[in-house]
Amino acid sequence: MTRLRLVATAPEGASTAELGPMAPVRLPPGRHGLPADLVRANQRQRMLEAAAAALAEQGYGRVTAAGVTELAGVSSRTFYQHFEDLWACLLAAYETEAARLCEAIEGACAAVGVDDGDGARVGIAAALDFLASEPTVARLLSAEPPPQVTVLAAARRELAERLSGMLRRVLAEGGTTPLPGLERRLIGAALALVAARSAGGDPRPLRELEPELSELLLVSL
Amino acid sequence: MEAVLVAAGEVGYREASVRAILEHSGGHRAQFYRHFESREDCFAQAYATWAQRLCVDLLEAAASAPGWEAGVRAALVDLFRFVTRRPAIARALFVEVQIAGEPALARHEAMVERAAAALDAARLEIEPDLAPPEATGVFVVGGIESCVCEALSAGDPNRIWEALPELMHLAVGSYFDKEAAEAAFEEASIMLERDRATLLGEAG
């Protein structure tokens, strides 16, 4: 359904405020008097979402800039005004979604407080909830990018490091200090499991993975 | 068929055109298309042959060791030897397969399931009420694979040896408990320290 949402024009009578500042809905064509910044932000957001959708559909082996522009409903010229190439667009999408995932986890952990002692489980559930509700994002964040595209490989490494740091912090709050480097191996395994479970295109089982993943991530630490 | 893996491992699957493959193997385009429907098909068939061979080697290494834990360690040592001796092929099997299209990916998933099922032999030693989650095998295989991918992507296959104690902790800890995991970590660290020169020398 992502494809339909991406190219749909705004419903009649709906203001951009109602749609949200980053709603990836195609703006009406032609002269509409909307501020240039808003148009640019809208285009960019649509292309980022389209990049994740194109990647989920075609994988790193086949995804192309043309596929992204078609899905986003923008011209190739517009695409290259925003991004140097396909990888720059995928990198921007990756970084945006990685930041959103980390915010979702941190938000959920902050809400339960440090005394709860269950911070890790809450964080894991929040991560899986986030990924399950966004199938294309789950694929984008968990799939191994081609190592030749060093910026993307580095972004994935950075996400894994950040998640490892979060796991280490939340465990430390509960009084556990894992052996150095161990949480990095566990996060690698967790990302691979998420990739395997979301590869079929149906990310709903990800939500059901919480008890298993919590046990696997925490039992040996 | 080895040529497609070497080409993909050296320049990446996206860049490994039929022409690039033929530069490694010799022969003409017409011959290529008599054997394979496409580059994707060629990669998938080559993957199946090599992954099957590697899988059998690892299972044999595990079977010849005394007990489950020693078997996992022996299989990891065997895997790391392969990664360091044949980095281009390993890169194709572990890294490039992720982007080489559905046919190869489906075969890769089957290999992961097979490795996970082999690891699940640990369940025979575990009381039913302490049974680990169903996803344990895939989780452990994923952890090992992601570690191999990292070392290969960084262009430093030898670095994989340093992960041996951590991966033993991951495997043993996921099936058994913290105490067993720490003992496995310790034992692998001692082995690595003792045999480092031999293991790294072999790789060279």
pLDDT of residue B203: 54
Grade residue B23 by pLDDT with cuts at 50, 70 and 90.
Answer: confident
In terms of CA atoms, which chain A residue is nearest residue B138? A193
Contact call for residues B21 and B66 (beta carbons, < 8 A) = no
User: What is the ipTM for the molecules in this complex?
Assistant: 0.88
Cα–chain-centroid distance for residue A65? 19
Share of chain B above pLDDT 90, in %: 66
Q: How many CB pairs under 8 A join A and B?
A: 121
Residues of chain A where predicted confidence (pLDDT) is lower than 50: 1-23
Q: Of the candidates B100, B97, B94, which has an alpha carbon nearest to the alpha carbon of residue A62?
A: B100
Closest residue of chain B to A194, computed from CA coordinates: B139
pLDDT of A98 reads: 97
The answer to whether the Cβ–Cβ distance between B95 and A147 falls below 8 Å is yes
Measured between alpha carbons, how far is B204 from B197 in angstroms, rounded to an integer? 11
**Closest approach of B168 to chain A, Cα-based (Å):** 10
- From B95, B135, B169, residue closest to A220, measured CB to CB: B169
Q: Do B143 and A61 touch (CB under 8 A)?
A: no
CB atoms A144 and B100 under 8 Å:
no
Mean pLDDT for B118-139 is 93
Q: Read off the pTM.
A: 0.87
Mean pLDDT of chain B: 91
Alpha-carbon span A127 to A206, nearest angstrom: 10
| Sequence-separated (6 or more) residues with CB below 8 Å from residue B133 | A211, A212, A215, A216, B139
Residue A207 at interface with chain B, using a CB cutoff of 8 Å: no
